[in-house]
Amino acid sequence: MPEAEIDEAPAASSEPQSPEAEARRQADIRDRRLVRRLRAGDQRAFDELVRLYQHRIFGLTLRMLGNRQEAEDVAQEVFITLHRAIGQYRGEGRFYTWLYRIATNTCKNRIKYLRGRNFHRSVPVEETPEAHDPGHDGPSVPLQARIAGPEAMTEGARLQAAIQQELAQLDPEHRLLIILRDIQGLSYQEILNITGLQEGTLKSRLHRARVALKERLAPYLS
Amino acid sequence: MPATQDTSAERMTAYLDAELPADEAAEFEEQLALDPEARSEVEMLRKMMSLVSSLPEVEAPPDFAEKVSRRVRRRQAFTEANWGLVSLPFQVLSIVVILVVAALYMMAQLEQRPTGKMEREAIPGTHEAGKMPSSGPAPVEP
């Protein structure tokens, strides 16, 4: 597809849009410009794309793999694939759903590889030193805010660890849907674009994933 | 999962995600009011979703972008600088293959040449094809 087509911004409708929709439109325009520059060989455009999407992609790989080192390595691989395969991006759909597709495929491949090697050395996400360092893991922990008292930090961290541990026990396809929808808050349409599922299949599979996780988290739900 | 259960699961998911149209959502709520088991299931799922969605947002390590950039530069440098080295064995192999083919062809030509020469030399001595040339003087008829 010629670059000109990728450069086309989604048409702005004459109807007033919600602030979220307008923000998404602006983000799409920005992404398309960066992609065009990257295809022209502009390294700074690539750095900018990494800066924009590093947290979301790392969040996805970390929740999928449950191990910081593996997650970082896979997330780096995702961006290297982006750099190498940007010529294959045909400008259909939003750029970041394409990036997410690369990330989900890379995660699935790594999970298969690690299973083949009987990988059991995973360091639970919340037990790593980085997980307790606000400089690494961002702002305060909402789960901790749910538990009152001086033991909030410990209890909150324990609850997070339990959720991550139970999440890791789910089938990777189910885990992916929970992460995309319930943790990262993507819309159905975005998930359909990323996974290539039919809408009915997505809903029923998401339901099964939620039921499975609910049963695993039952002791924490009462 | 049977089709009816599938449909019910899809509706429940859409309801929990506030993706059902208003009329269908109202209808679903009416059904829930009559079915305590389903109501309890929806409540538990809602709690679970709330718990999961309150996991903290994860941030990439501070040097992540730098590491990616470094790996990309290393990959580019490797591709550019080592392309010649990587392709050298293939170039040498191609030349060797060409030389071997040429040598085999020439050998085949050399092997064919003497036979051809003999055949050409034999032709003038014979009057009829397939007839062996006679040796010695022709017999004298009485």
pTM (two decimals):
0.73
Do the chains contact at B13 and A46, CB–CB below 8 Å? no
Measure A65 CA to nearest chain B CA, in Å.
Answer: 13
Q: For position A143, what pLDDT does the model report? A: 56
Beta strands in chain B, from DSSP E residues, in sequence order: none
Band of pLDDT at residue A203, cut at 50, 70 and 90: very high
Quick check: A110 and A200 in contact, CB under 8 A? no
Locus of tokens 């999440």:
A167
Do the chains contact at B13 and A130, CB–CB below 8 Å? no
Locus of tokens 């006679």:
B134
Q: For position B121, what pLDDT does the model report? A: 59
Residues in chain B: 142
Q: For position A91, what pLDDT does the model report? A: 81
Query: What is the spatial distance between Cα A146 and Cα A157, in angstroms, rounded to a whole number?
Result: 11
In a 3-state reduction of DSSP, which class is residue A222?
A: coil
B→A interface, C-beta within 8 Å: 1, 6, 9-10, 12-14, 16-17, 19, 44-45, 47-49, 51-62, 64-65, 67-69, 71-72, 75
Mutate which of A210, A211, A215 to disrupt the B interface (most B C-beta within 10 Å)?
A: A210
Residues on chain B touching A206 (C-beta within 8 angstroms): 13
For residue A77, how far is the Cα from the chain centroid?
Answer: 14
Do the chains contact at B56 and A163, CB–CB below 8 Å? no
Q: Report the percentage of chain A scoring pLDDT > 70.
A: 77
Residue A206, chain B, CB below 8 Å: the answer is: yes
Query: What is the spatial distance between Cα B73 and Cα A44, in angstroms, rounded to a whole number?
Result: 12
Query: What is the spatial distance between Cα A81 and Cα B68, in angstroms, rounded to a whole number?
Result: 11
**Cα→Cα distances A181→A21, A174, B119, Å:** 18, 11, 86
Provide the chain A residues 38-97 that lie in CB contact (below 8 A) with chain B: 43, 46-47, 50-51, 54-55, 57-59, 62-63, 72, 75-76, 79-80, 83-84
Do the chains contact at A76 and B64, CB–CB below 8 Å? yes
B133: left (phi over 0), alpha (psi -120 to 50) or beta: beta
Locus of tokens 């972008």:
B65
Please state the rounded mean pLDDT for residues A137-144: 44
| Structure letter (DSSP) for residue A183 | I
> Which residues, in sequence order, are CB contacts of A202 under 8 Å at separation 6+?
A177, A188, A191, A192, A195
> Which residues, in sequence order, are CB contacts of B10 under 8 Å at separation 6+?
A200, A203, A204, A207
- In one-letter notation, the amino acid at residue B127 is H
Query: What is the spatial distance between Cα A118 and Cα A104, in angstroms, rounded to a whole number?
Result: 21
Q: For position B79, what pLDDT does the model report? A: 74
Of B19, B54, B65, the CB nearest to A47: B65
In a 3-state reduction of DSSP, which class is residue B31?
A: helix
Pick the more confident residue, A29 or B113: A29
Band of pLDDT at residue A15, cut at 50, 70 and 90: low
